[in-house]
Amino acid sequence: MKILVTGGAGFIGSALIRYIIGHRDDTVINVDKLTYAGNLESLADVAGSERYHFEQVDICDGAALRAVFARYQPDAVMHLAAESHVDRSIDGPAAFIETNIVGTYVLLEEARRYWNGLNDERRQAFRFHHISTDEVYGDLDDDGSLFREDTPYAPSSPYSASKASADHLVRAWRRTYGLPVLLTNCSNNYGPYHFPEKLIPLMILNALEGKPLPVYGSGRQVRDWLYVEDHARALYRVVSGGNVGETYNIGGHNEKQNIEVVETICTLLEELAPQKPAGVQHYRDLITYVTDRPGHDMRYAIDAGKIERQLGWTPRESFASGMRKTVQWYLDNRAWCQRVQDGSYQRQRLGTGAAAEV
Catalytic sites, residue numbers: 134-135, 159
CA–CA gap between residue 234 and residue 241 (Å, rounded): 10
Phi-psi region of 191 (alpha: psi -120 to 50; beta: other; left: phi over 0): left
Q: Which residues share a beta bridge with 5?
A: 30, 78
Residue 284 dihedral angles phi and psi, to the nearest 5°: -60, -25
DSSP string, 234-295: HHHHHHHHPPTT-EEEE--S-EEEHHHHHHHHHHHHHHH--SPPTT-S-GGGGEEEEPPPTT
Tell me how far CA of residue 352 lies from CA of 29, 37, 119, 356, in angstroms: 21, 17, 40, 7
DSSP string, 66-91: HHHHHHH--SEEEE------HHHHHH
